[in-house]
Amino acid sequence: MAGQTDMELIKNGIRMDGRKPDELRDVKIVAGVLDNADGSCYLEWGNNKIYAGVFGPMECHPRHKQKADRAIVQARYTMAPFSVNDRKRPGLDRRSSEISYIVSQAFEKVVMVEEFPKASIRVDMQVVEAHAGTRCAAMTAASVALADAGIPMRDMIPACASGKVNDIVVLDLNKEEDNYGQADLPLAIIPSTGEVVLLQLDGHLTPDEFEQAMDLATSGCMDLYKKMRDALENSYGGKK
């Protein structure tokens, strides 16, 4: 958020990539792309490219992480070395372990974990190309993959960010806006109930702006939810 730039991020209400402040980038979702995973999804969101694969429910390893009365969700978020401009050193780092943790927590809210005692549901998200908003994109992809794996859950969770750029609250920040903007607010909700399962804030927002950003991100999530449903309906031949 602290970056400085001469770029004009918003000019006459139009952003650098030609979007209006309340517009999402183009999203393409395909369910069931991988043969070896129980469920999978490929997602393109602007320039982000992400694969998600789900395995399980299966016996939880390591054993001390097992819960006698319910399953746990073990999510893993990784970025490919070639996903960013400067080669990313492969392996776990602080950022990816944080994202893995919050995504696991979010999914344990929707997956019916009490149906599978002692089990683990593994969710692997691989960022192939990153262009800001990958944690939201990865969660969205993982939701579709979980549904594709036939895992019972209360709802799918779409995730979408909003933020502040040039003192304007905008939806779905792109790379430049993320680097040089004033705030970034990733949000994931349960569409049927409106419950929030993930909320982070990086940067500064006034209480009014925060309300505005929440409303914008919520509507973004609902738009995204429709696209997730379309992806699953297409893959199972529900729409002809």
| Site residues, other proteins (CB under 8 A) | 38-39, 56-59, 68, 112, 116-119, 147-156, 190-193, 229, 232-233, 236-238
Least separation in angstroms between residue 207's CB and other proteins is: 31
- Cβ-count burial of 150 within 10 angstroms (0-12 exposed, 13-18 middle, 19+ buried)? exposed
Least separation in angstroms between residue 223's CB and other proteins is: 16
Q: Are 104 and 56 in contact (CB under 8 A)?
A: no
d(CA 42, CA 143) in angstroms, rounded, equals 11
Q: Which is nearer to other proteins, 110 or 205 (CB)?
A: 110
Least separation in angstroms between residue 238's CB and other proteins is: 3
Least separation in angstroms between residue 237's CB and other proteins is: 5
Q: Which is nearer to other proteins, 53 or 191 (CB)?
A: 191
Q: Are 125 and 77 in contact (CB under 8 A)?
A: yes
Pairing of strands 119-129, 72-79: parallel
Q: Which residue has the tokens 């492969």?
A: 90
The two most distant CA atoms of the chain are separated, in Å, by 58
Q: Which of 141, 180, 159, 227 is nearest to 7 (CA)?
A: 180
Q: Which is nearer to other proteins, 117 or 203 (CB)?
A: 117
Q: Which is nearer to other proteins, 10 or 123 (CB)?
A: 123
Q: Which is nearer to other proteins, 54 or 171 (CB)?
A: 54
Least separation in angstroms between residue 52's CB and other proteins is: 15
